[in-house]
Amino acid sequence: MSVLDRQMSATAKIFPHPRDAWYVAAWDHEVTAKAPLARTIADRPLALYRTQDGRPVALADACWHRLAPLSMGTLVGDDEVQCPYHGLRYNSSGRCTAMPAQETVNPSASVPSFPVVEKHRYVWVWVGDPTKADPDLVPDMHQMDSPDWAGDGLTIHADCNYQLVLDNLMDLTHEEFVHSSSIGQAELSEAEFSTTHDGSTVTVSRWMRDIDAPPFWLKNMRDKFPGFTGKVDRWQIIHFEAPSTICIDVGVAKAGTGAPEGDRSQGVNGYVMNTITPDRDRSCHYFWAFMRNYRLDSQLITTQLRDGVHGVFAEDEVMLTAQQKAIDENPDYEFYSLNVDAGGMWVRRILDRMLVAEGRLDPGDVSVTNHAAAPADRPRVTTGA
């Protein structure tokens, strides 16, 4: 199929997601031993709960009998959920242990149970091939529960494909336009940036030297250095880990005090922790947190930062929802890439490779059409599978 044919045959831009991956299903506190939680993770409706000894469990949210949702059921015994319809019970492995209207339990009665890991304040689920579910593959988000960092976050249920959020986070020049009242400034688009990558990670680094701090960062500098005025050196180091975790090292320091060379003592440093879980084709769970390494004991600062970032990300959500709508309403239009999309393009290449390996994407149909092209060559991004 020629490029032109592919362009003409495009009917919808739905970017698929890998299945063989750990995705965050919930914050740890959302999964309890009191009642199951319903959540769709990578197209899989799940019932999430904890056993009485605190172990998280993810079962398919459809009873073996007549497919009633187990998430509407009740938790009983040490580790079981009881179907709300005719009372079948399942243990944490998904095996049926009781059939109230039968003398014996049909030995084949079960529901799928998915691998679960609890790490970095999140419950992660693997909905793909369970033999590949290695807990060591959980992305590094250690700042979430390190004693050197403090902070909190929230979840956005965004009405857009998960890759649109990845694009958003890999190119922060949008801050100048979407977040002009808080973190945006013209220097974002003007500054040089570098992009590095390997088989499963991409890093985009940008330094802006001797600039005015935008309002969000000026406030944070004054939390650490009361009364601060003057210029700052600002950094954004965006780190993607496949398939959908992006941790961004952000901060500002008094200009000329050596932050670019590694001395950040005269600055404030945060990590924007983002992990995006596909829900359905056009929706995703966007888990985020803002962690800082100064004034660790101030709950007030934690709350102010969480609320501040919440406001910033609400601006992204408006844009992402509108973008998804425009994509759906213009199925024959293509994406084009600019220099600033270099990081996002490497992300798509990594995801394409994962999808091809899972047999879910034809190698001739990958979403970035020219893998050898430099971003300046403006390669097109087409529809994917």
Q: Distance (Å, rounded) from C-alpha 279 to C-alpha 285?
A: 6
Please identify, among the stretches 63-71, 84-92, 296-304, 308-316, the one whose residues bind Fe ion according to the rule CB under 5 A. 308-316
To Fe ion, the closest distance from the beta carbon of 236 in angstroms equals 11
Closest listed residue to residue 26, CA positions, set 103, 119, 124, 109? 124
Q: Distance (Å, rounded) from C-alpha 345 to C-alpha 92?
A: 40
To Fe ion, the closest distance from the beta carbon of 41 in angstroms equals 24
To ligand FES, the closest distance from the beta carbon of 141 in angstroms equals 36
- Fill in the DSSP letter of residue 15: -
Question: In the complex with ligand FES, which residue's Cβ is closer, 10 or 68?
Answer: 68
Report in angstroms the alpha-carbon separations of 330 from 99, 321, 367, 380, 381.
Answer: 51, 14, 17, 16, 15
Q: What element of type H or E holds 114?
A: strand 113-114
Q: Distance (Å, rounded) from C-alpha 368 to C-alpha 375?
A: 11
Our finding on whether 76 is near ligand FES (CB under 6 A) is no
316 touches, from ligand FES, Fe ion, none (C-beta below 5 to 8 Å by class):
Fe ion
To Fe ion, the closest distance from the beta carbon of 210 in angstroms equals 24
Among 30, 43, 66, 330, binds ligand FES (CB under 6 A): 66
To ligand FES, the closest distance from the beta carbon of 188 in angstroms equals 54
Query: What residue type is 158 in one-letter code?
Result: A
Our finding on whether 316 is near Fe ion (CB under 5 A) is yes
Q: What element of type H or E holds 47?
A: strand 44-50
Q: Rounded to the nearest 10 degrees, what angle do helices 299-329 and 162-170 cross at?
A: 120
Please identify, among the stretches 29-37, 81-89, 272-280, 301-309, the one whose residues bind ligand FES according to the rule CB under 6 A. 81-89
Question: In the complex with Fe ion, which residue's Cβ is closer, 178 or 255?
Answer: 178
Closest listed residue to residue 175, CA positions, set 183, 187, 164, 166? 183
To ligand FES, the closest distance from the beta carbon of 296 in angstroms equals 48
Question: In the complex with ligand FES, which residue's Cβ is closer, 102 or 303?
Answer: 102
Question: In the complex with ligand FES, which residue's Cβ is closer, 101 or 300?
Answer: 101
* b/e map 211-231, b = 16+ CB within 10 Å: bebbebbebbbebeeeebeee
Reading the block at residue 132, the tokens are 């590949």
Question: In the complex with ligand FES, which residue's Cβ is closer, 38 or 314?
Answer: 38
> Which residues ranging from 213 to 232 are in contact with Fe ion (CB under 5 A)?
none
User: Strand pairing of 335-336 and 80-82?
Assistant: unpaired
Our finding on whether 65 is near ligand FES (CB under 6 A) is yes
Question: In the complex with ligand FES, which residue's Cβ is closer, 83 or 166?
Answer: 83
Reading the block at residue 12, the tokens are 């919808």
The pair phi, psi for residue 53, each rounded to 5°, is -90, 15
The pair phi, psi for residue 360, each rounded to 5°, is -105, 0
> Binding residues for ligand FES, how many (CB under 6 A)?
9
User: In this chain, which residue has its C-beta nearest to Fe ion?
Assistant: 316
User: Strand pairing of 380-381 and 335-336?
Assistant: antiparallel
Binding mask 154-173 for ligand FES (x = CB under 6 A): --------------------
Binding mask 83-122 for ligand FES (x = CB under 6 A): x-xxxx----------------------------------
Which residues contact ligand FES by CB under 6 A?
Answer: 63, 65-66, 68, 83, 85-88
Which residues contact Fe ion by CB under 5 A?
Answer: 316
